[in-house]
Structure 1
Amino acid sequence: MNLDSTARDARVELAHGSGGRATSRMVRQLFLRHLPSPELHQLHDGAVVPLAGPLAISTDAFVVDPLFFPGGDIGKLSVCGTVNDVAMCGARPTSLAAAFVLEEGLTLDELESIVASMAQTCAAAGVSIVTGDTKVVPRGKGDRVFIITTGVGQVLPGVSVGPSRIRPGDRILVSGPVGDHGTTILALRAGVDVGLELRSDCAPVAAEVMALLERIPEVHALRDPTRGGLAAVLNEFAEQSGTGFVIDEAAVPVSAATRAAADILGLDPLQMACEGRFVAVLPAERADEALALLRSLPACAQAADIGGVVTEHPAKVTARTAIGGDRLLDVFEGEPLPRIC
């Protein structure tokens, strides 16, 4: 099959993973057409990029089902996920590596849409894909496409973030409504229609994180609430820091569409994945300034101060409910939400 073919049903074939002419055509006519970085266009075994330390590196694999969803697709997600993870290390993301595992039979139109989406998201995030790889597996041995991305970035001067820096008295900020991504994916699979626009929050957050750290480098910890959602992040922070976390459930922003869909599905929005939000823990005396800064940024207009760090009940998280009671905010047991990212 020639990649130049005008056939509407042109698909990935095993030959595209052979390293021969079919591979070369796919790389040059599809990938390089959308991904402009000079390093990638050298078609070398790797990339040499000018970076000064200290550096942050993160890698992630993406297997989301379905590949395309309201608010994004696996390509956009694969860029956002890794860019955001690098930013959570207090680093400005600069470069990505991307590897694709393609299943024989994937349409080339789908693949091109995914790669084009990655290119658009890279441009929005200020990063470049500088090296990559493709492999093709036989029909039935994969699920259309899996993507692995690795990102690198430069840590901002004077910034050091991590759970070990969390202290009692710190405040907890979240950058916007939680649970949108995971709820959207599960509602789409289940065919749930809530009569409202349900949409993934998939987006790069590095620019917003950098703005926060440049103003307030004393931020103690950052994390993006992906699998397991806000609940997982807070429990990880509490366990790793040996402190207790208390949040006001009514203060946590949740969109009407996500809340409605979660109610129908019997899920807790605080346990549902986000792909365009972050949690920041920082000294109480800087919390108001940080919140005002975040709310001045369009992507974080609904940022909120949702609670604080305490000495009581170390390694546990409690949520104060709307009726004034407290509940233990725990994490999932097992994997009830497979393939949401």
Structure 2
Amino acid sequence: MDFSINNSASNTLFQKIEQVRRRQGKVQDTHITLAHGSGGKAMRDLIDDIFVSNFDNPILSQLEDQASFNLSNLLQQGDRLAFSTDSYVVDPLFFPGGDIGELAVNGTVNDLAVSGAKPLYLTCSVILEEGLAVETLRRVAKSMKAAANKAGVQIVTGDTKVVHRGAADKLFINTAGIGVIPSGISISTQNIQPGDVVILNGELGNHGAAILVARGELALETDIQSDCQPLHNLIETILKACPKVHAMRDATRGGLATVLNEFALSSNVGIRLEEESIPVREEVKGICEILGLDPLYLANEGKLVVVVAKENADTVLSVMKSHPTGKDACIIGEVISSPPGIVLLKTVFESERIVDMLVGEQLPRIC
């Protein structure tokens, strides 16, 4: 019996086999099992169904172990790369104003943007606890897709691991990001000088307060939402108006107080804040008073701290106020020569107190 087939039939058969082989899988389980981290078909189906289908782009679709970029395209946008990574372990996964997926994308986008970089590419690695609902993971992935689209970045590679039940808390995410810094931009704490002005883009502590209320441990009713948002467009607007910004940082864990202490220590200058000028919602103030917290240390996920020369302050403040993400921008303090490495707060009672670096953790698992 002749089992040979002609070339045409052979090609058609191989094409059909290849189509079947490349067909995206679908998750059949309702909850994550250890098989989803085994490297086999269950894992491939999970990646196809949850991540590839949401993050699809030409680089990711190659499904290699790494993402490859055309260097000439990057060089057209700037002369230096910015590279950042962060991990997210927030509890609860979903909270008023955002979720862990949106947080992971915006957090890394903002870490790149404060260097003056244009964020371009992200990675996404997840650690899943056995028993996590697949629908929860699907919801997070869709949120990451929406956040990435809004920020104009692509999620181009990643990794998935599954741990035994009880070895993690539902879902942890790590994102790394690459951006390109345009020539002529040099943002660094080393640039800060006495006489500089400190500008903030809006209310402090909304993220920390929203997470605290969402945990349901306190009988509090409030409409406070997290300020989770990308800052890259606001920063781009600022740099177009004033390329000589001295320093920028997003105030996340440790809040405004920690950022300014880092500035003061790195540049060996002092910083004096005006308490009356620092915007904090009354509801956030109330929560802090009840629990003995300080809003200066509460976490934020969409707050930008900008330090500029005094002669550029009005220009920067004006363009920030013209942007939706900076409409509540205000000058909150100034850089002073002494005492070096110290942040001072001029209170509403005209006295001064030292705002030290955060010791310990006011609220764990905040981002």
Bucket of the pairwise TM-score, normalised by the shorter protein: over 0.9
Following the alignment from structure 1 to structure 2, what is the Cα–Cα distance between the partners of residues 177 and 114? 27
Residue 252 of structure 1 is matched in structure 2 by 278
How far has the Cα of 1:215 moved from its partner?
Answer: 1.4
Cα distance in 2 for residues equivalent to 1:20 and 1:195: 46
Q: Which residue in 2 is equivalent to 1:230?
A: 256
Matched-pair contact (CA < 8 Å) for 2:298–2:362: no
How far does residue 77 in structure 1 lie from its aligned partner after superposition?
Answer: 0.5
Match among 18, 36, 41 for residue 21 of structure 1: 41
Verify: 1:185 aligned to 2:205, yes or no.
no
- Secondary structure of 1:101 counterpart: strand
SS at match of 1:281: strand
RMSD: 1.4
Matched, 1:290 2:316: yes
* 1:47 and 2:67 matched: yes
2:193 to 164, 167, 177: 167
Structure 1 unmatched ranges of 5 or more: none
User: Cα offset for 1:104?
Assistant: 0.6
Q: Which residue of 2 aligns with 1:268?
A: 294
Q: How far apart are the structure 1 equivalents of 2:194 and 2:94? A: 42
2:333 aligned with 1:301, yes or no?
no
Question: 1:202 is matched with which residue: 228, 248, 259?
Answer: 228
* TM-score (ref. length: structure 2): 0.89
In structure 2, what is the Cα distance between the partners aligned to 1:161 and 1:340? Answer: 27
Give the TM-score, by structure 1 length: 0.96
| Partners of 1:25 and 1:249 in 2: CA distance | 54
CA distance in 1, matches of 2:220, 2:235: 32
Q: Displacement, 1:4?
A: 4.5
For residues 138-161 of structure 1, give each alpha carbon's deviation from its aligned partner in whole angstroms, at most 9, with x where no partner exists. Answer: 111111111000011011221101
Higher deviation after alignment, 295-304 or 193-202: 193-202
CA contact (8 A) 1:194 1:257 kept: no
SS in 1 for 2:115: coil
After superposition, residues 60-139 of structure 1 pair within 5 angstroms as: 60-139=86-165
Question: C-alpha deviations, 1:5-49, integer Å up to 9, x for none?
Answer: 4x7xx1011111111100111111121111122111111111112
Unaligned runs of 5+ in 2: 1-24
Contact 2:121 2:154 in 1 (8 A): yes
SS in 2 for 1:119: helix
Conserved 8 A contact 2:27-2:42: no
- The CA deviation string for residues 145-202 of structure 1, in whole angstroms up to 9 with x for no partner, is 1100001101122110111110000000011111111122123335345543111101
On the 8 A contact 1:181/1:202 being kept in 2, the answer is yes
Q: Is the 8 A contact 1:294 1:300 kept in 2?
A: yes
3-state SS of the aligned residue for 1:38?
A: coil
Distance, in Å, in 1 between the alignment partners of 2:178 and 2:283 is 35
SS in structure 1 opposite 2:59? helix
Preserved CA contact (<8 Å) 1:231 1:330 = yes
- Kindly state the Cα deviation for residue 272 of structure 1 after the two structures are TM-superposed: 0.5
1:183–1:269 Cα contact (<8 Å) kept: no
Opposite residue 35 of structure 2, the aligned amino acid is A
Q: In the aligned structure 2, how far is the partner of 1:112 from the partner of 1:261?
A: 33
Which amino acid in the other structure matches residue 159 of structure 1? I
* 2:349 counterpart of 1:329: no
By how many angstroms is 1:80 displaced?
Answer: 0.7
Give the equivalent residue in structure 1 for 2:54.
Answer: 34
Between the aligned partners of 2:63 and 2:285, the Cα distance in structure 1 is 47
Q: Match for 2:235: what amino acid? A: V
- Provide Cα deviations, 1:204-250, integer angstroms capped at 9, x if missing partner: 11110111112111100011111110000000000110000001011
**Distance in structure 2 (CA, Å) of the matches to 1:272 and 1:96:** 27
Amino acid at match of 2:56: P
Q: 1:65 to 1:195 in 2, by over 3 A?
A: closer
